[in-house]
Structure 1
Amino acid sequence: MKPAPTRVELTGAAEELLRTLVAVHGPVMFHQSGGCCDGSAPMCYPRGEFRVGAADLLLGRLAEDTPFWISADQYAYWRHTHLTVDVVPGRGSGFSLEAPEGVRFLLRSRLFTEQETELLAGQAPLPGGADHGEE
């Protein structure tokens, strides 16, 4: 049986930027809320500087063992999609660590294939913020 697909990944450029941010700031995390203040861009914070809520879900782990959290409301909309974190020129939110670099993280998405959806259906539910505390 094939392993289930990942739900989130990085482009090469995003992985390179992530490694740079980790070298400067130490371990980091992503959070995707979809709220009005941070829009639909994933936000990158020093790990422990952002409190994950009980309604947040751990979508996956990226390079540098970086957790990617998503709000349950946003996940309800995007649960059928594979997300790819990319980086593009331009200034993003002032709250995210990449902002001073003159670039911003951006999500690209595609629908899961039927086969991927079937494989994901057999997985346990995503862990929630209440299960992980300070990540």
Structure 2
Amino acid sequence: MVERVTTTKEAEQLMKKLMDIHGPLMFHQSGGCCDGSSPMCYPKGELRTGESDILLGHLLGDIPFYISLDQYEYWKHTQLIIDVIDGRGGMFSLEGPEGKRFLTRSRVFTEEEKSEFQI
């Protein structure tokens, strides 16, 4: 079964480093405002999720990844791929002091994959 959200090896390495520093993590796919549409990384439980947030999946087995319902409607036909690049990212996201920023890439699901999700 295809995952709705996944990572690159580079992003996994940074997540592991951040877990060593901050403990368990969580992500929320931002839908705009201050930090654009960035995947935001927080200590687990630091951001309160609500009825308008969807648990899209887990990264590295146990890092929950949430997305707002509105943002999900735009991206439900794509797999989100969490990557990392050099530079400053979201001002509230944990990776900022590392000189890195998480970035969401995406690819459109194939027709076969779409049928798994009944999109």
Larger radius of gyration: 1
Q: Which deviates further from its counterpart, 45-54 or 113-122?
A: 113-122
Measure the CA separation in 2 of the matches of 1:41 and 1:94. 10
- CA distance in structure 1 between the partners assigned to 2:52 and 2:59 by the alignment: 21
- Preserved CA contact (<8 Å) 1:19 1:64: no
TM-score using structure 2 length:
0.96
What is the rounded CA distance, in whole Å, between the counterparts of 1:32 and 1:88 in structure 2? 17
Task: Read off the aligned partner of 1:48 and give its amino acid letter.
Answer: G
Distance of 2:71 and 2:30 partners within structure 1 = 6
- Please state how far the C-alpha of 1:25 moved relative to its aligned partner: 0.2
Instruction: Determine if contact 1:14/1:86 at 8 Å carries over to the other structure.
Output: yes
Matched ranges for 1:70-109 at <5 A: 70-109=67-106
2 CA distance for matches of 1:49 and 1:38? 17
Q: Which has the higher strand share?
A: 2
Residues 93-128 of structure 1, C-alpha deviations (whole Å, 9 max, x = no match): 120000000010000001000000011219xxxxxx
User: Where does 1:29-40 land on structure 2 (aligned, <5 Å)?
Assistant: 29-40=26-37
Cα drift, residue 54 of structure 1: 1.2
Find the counterpart in structure 1 of residue 112 from structure 2.
115
- Return 5+ residue gaps in structure 1 as ranges: 123-135
RMSD: 1.2
Given that 2:29 and 2:38 are in contact with CA atoms closer than 8 Å, whether structure 1 keeps it comes out as yes
- Residues paired across the two proteins, number: 119
Query: Cα gap change, 1:25/1:64 in structure 2, threshold over 3 Å: closer, same or farther?
Result: farther
Identity of aligned residues (%): 60
TM-score by length of 1: 0.85
Deviation at 1:38, TM superposition (A): 2.1
Instruction: Quote the residue 1:67 is aligned against.
Output: 64
